[in-house]
Amino acid sequence: MANENKPIHGIWGSRWVFILAAAGSAVGLGNIWKFPYMTGANGGAAFVMMYLLCIVAVGVPIMVAEVMLGRRGGMSPVNSMFKLARDNGVNSRWAGVGALGALSGFLLLSFYTVIGGWTLFYVWEMVSGALVHASAVEVQGAFEGMMANPWLVLGGHTAFMAMTMFVVGFGVIRGIERAVRILMPLLFALLAVLFGYALTSDGFADAFRYMFAFDIAKISGASVLAAVGHSFFTLSIGLGAIMAYGAYMPREVVTRSGQRKPVSIGSTVLAVAALDTLVALVAGMIIFPIVFANGLAPGEGPGLLFVTLPLAFAEMPLGMLFGTLFFVLVVCAAWTSSISIAEPPVAWLVEKGFSRPKAAILVGLLAWTLGIGSALSFNVLADYTLFGKTFFGLMDFLTINIMLPVGGLLIAIFAGWIMKETQARKELAMKSFGLYMVWRAMVRVFAPLALILVFAFSLWQALA
Ligand code: PFF
Ligand code: NA
């Protein structure tokens, strides 16, 4: 039996479709918007090194664990964890890992679509040619003007949420699989074109040095915490999105010559993580040359993508075309990610008896409502802060720096300590025993220890 207990939500057409869907989830605003500005805000290469280390040592092993739990469970994260807890003879409260994930996904979705809305607005800015030949001051003004306009930000948030739920409402195969089959190749083609352009630009050497000339003195506790949080965010782990996608992953595929071939989780996850990392680095190498060639500051913050790039597009030949392509790329990337963030709560409601479209509309409406707070925190509510953070800032910190790492920690503990070893080994079916042992040591000891240390350290820093 290839796929015993076939998941009710459907199953990806092939291993390749899983890679497209999971890469679609992973590659998003985290790579193209956040990674470059975090690198800028945390001292360049020092942050890049920490980030790469976190991806390899903590992110990948936990991603393998998350996909493995998903494929074993075959359902939405809440019910997969419930089933796994029962099968392994532990308290059904472990289902809480799935519930915590669905909750963090719900919170994350509420503001992810707000930023998604900005990217939609920028497609319009580019197509309309509004910024052609604009000066630095004008481009800055356009960004601030957009954020200051509550209706514009709310409109973008609404449109992006609708786009997301439209796809999720069609289901795993007719919605998500169809969307990623079109959007992901488009995304990689656009990225290649823009990277080609960056290679020939004046600032490329400076940008390369900035990203890769490592200086240990620049590492701080805050930037380590940021790197850990970001490695979870960028790989889409810790909230069940990848667990849900793993549940739809086939155990075997039939090759063209009619042979049955097992689908290995380890190598598949490696492919996804490599794609995600590659896109982040390439995005940095597209954006920083423009920053340096124009004498701008890399530590600009969240505006980096929305201010520096349009400025470059304003001047370059065919800038309108490249600018439009670039923001279409960002929209595609963000869209395939928001879809995956919405999947765990929607799948859970479907298991409770809702129809797909109804479940999607319900989750969408609730997340949209909560997202109003984030949308307005750039304008009307900008002065309302707690611990120096706006509503958006709080949601961002709570989900990405706290909830995702906690979710990841619990996933690692379950996969490494709770789940029967025979089960884990069978599901992973790794060819190399040595690699399996490395993975096991990572999820049992190294990843949890690293996460706990980082937490303790940042708590200590916050209190000191
Ligand atoms: N990985 C996505 C990004 O880099 O933008 C964000 C994300 C998607 C986080 C899905 C978490 C998730 F479950
Ligand atoms: Na990412």
Written as six digits, the tokens of 60 are 């990948």
For the range 138-147, what are the long-range contacts, defined as Cβ-Cβ under 8 Å and sequence gap of 24 or more?
139/307, 139/310, 139/311, 139/314, 140/303, 140/307, 142/310, 143/303, 143/306, 143/307, 143/310, 146/118, 146/121, 146/306, 147/378, 147/379
Q: Which residue is closest in CA terms to ligand 1's atom 11? A: 236
Angle at 443 between CA 250 and CA 31, to 5 degrees: 70
HSE-up (13 A, CA, CB side) for residue 434: 0
List beta partners, residue 150.
none
- Cβ neighbours of 206 (radius 10 Å): 15
Residue 333 Cα to ligand 2 middle (Å): 9
Chain-centre distance of CA 414, in angstroms? 22
**Whole-structure pTM value:** 0.93
Q: Could you read off the pLDDT of 211-243 as tens digits, one per residue? A: 998 877 777 777 787 888 899 999 999 999 999
Q: Is the CB of 364 under 6 A from ligand 1?
A: no
DSSP three-state, residue 262: strand
Q: How large is the average pLDDT for residues 143-151?
A: 96
Query: H or E element: which one contains 252?
Result: strand 252-254
The whole-number average pLDDT for the span 155-179 is 95
Per DSSP, the three-state class of 361 is helix
458 lines ligand 1 (CB under 6 A): no
> What is the mean pLDDT of the segment spanning 304-314?
85
Could you tell me the distance, in angstroms and rounded to a whole number, from the CA of residue 271 to the centre of ligand 1?
A: 16
ipTM: 0.99
Whether the CB of 104 sits within 6 Å of ligand 1: no
27-463 maps to which CATH number? 1.20.1740
Give distance in angstroms: CA of 414 to centre of ligand 2. 24
**Cα 4 to Cα 12: distance, rounded to the nearest angstrom:** 15
For ligand 1, whether the C-beta of 234 sits within 6 Å is yes
The ligand that comes nearest to the alpha carbon of residue 107 is 1
Q: Is the CB of 341 under 6 A from ligand 1?
A: yes
pLDDT at 300: 77
* Ligand 1 and 25: CB distance under 6 A: yes
Quickly state the pLDDT bin for 313 (edges 50, 70, 90).
confident
How much is the pLDDT for 1?
38
User: For residue 6, what pLDDT is reported?
Assistant: 64
Atom of ligand 1 nearest to the CA of 404: 11
pLDDT digits (tens, 9 = 90+) for 381-429: 999 988 889 999 999 988 988 899 899 999 999 999 999 998 899 999 8
Which ligand has the shortest distance to the CA of 345? Answer: 1
CA of 355 to the centre of ligand 2 (A): 30
